[in-house]
Amino acid sequence: MASPTTHNLIEIADIKDSVVLLRNGSLRLVLEVSAINFELRSEDEQSAIIQSFQNFLNSIDFPIQIVIGSQRYDIDDYLKTVAAATDALTNDLLKIQAAEYMKFVQDLSSLANIMSKHFYIVIPFYIVETGGGKGILDSIKGIFKSSASIAAIPEEQFAAYQNQLVQRAELVFDSLVGSGLRARILEKGELENLFYLLYNPGSKPKIQS
């Protein structure tokens, strides 16, 4: 369990449905984006992808954050599965081949870091309140000022904010299609796993899917 000091450094206040609520009152929607092998495409295809991505950036009128996550691939569970399947074999030749395959995978893993990469687009929504005699400058500063806790957002307002985020996500979906990319919104359990692994490098997912 994180110490109180460490906990105060984490800006995540809560995760509701598929929306991340931050301590400063702003919201985030996280999209997982598929990957394409750019180097294997022809020159014309590469130019078309670059042009499509440029059009995507020019089409959005709100800020986004592009995040690339790299993590060493854990092959222990895979090797255990292969070992169990090997033990069940009755053919001696197949057992020898399976054992050699396991050794090959282990040697390959020790020689090179087998990494898994995930790509995300983070879509923000900022709640700016100008009431209480505050000027617009104070309101903008409030966006970036961290507070100890987040004020409860009424269900009706939260639904409206979430709808705004989903509309932005749909714009991103449509814009990425031209680049051959697919995207989807991460749900609560997936977000919990993502942030758990982010704050606990090398760990396995806390919630098994």
**CA distances to 27, 70, 155, 199 from 62, in Å:** 13, 26, 24, 27
Could you write out the DSSP letters of every residue in the chain? ---HHHHHH--EEEEETTEEEETTS-EEEEEEE----GGGS-HHHHHHHHHHHHHHHHH--S--EEEEEEEE---HHHHHHHHHHHHT---HHHHHHHHHHHHHHHHHHHHS--EEEEEEEEEEE------TT--HHHHHHHHH---SSPPPPPHHHHHHHHHHHHHHHHHHHHHHHTTT--EEE--HHHHHHHHHHHHSTTPPPSS--
On average, the pLDDT of the chain sits at 80
Q: What is the pLDDT of residue 136?
A: 38
Q: What is the pLDDT of residue 39?
A: 87
This model's pTM is above 0.85: no
Q: What is the pLDDT of residues 76-113, one digit of tens each?
A: 878 888 899 998 888 889 989 999 998 888 888 777 77
Q: What is the pLDDT of residues 42-83, one digit of tens each?
A: 999 999 989 998 988 898 899 999 998 877 777 787 888 889
Q: How far apart are CA 39 and CA 27, in angstroms?
A: 36
Q: What residue ranges do the domains of the chain occupy?
A: 4-70+119-199, 74-113
Paired tokens of 205: 């997912």
Counting Cα atoms < 13 Å in the Cβ hemisphere of 150 gives: 21
Q: What is the pLDDT of residue 105?
A: 85
- For tokens 């400063």, the residue is 24
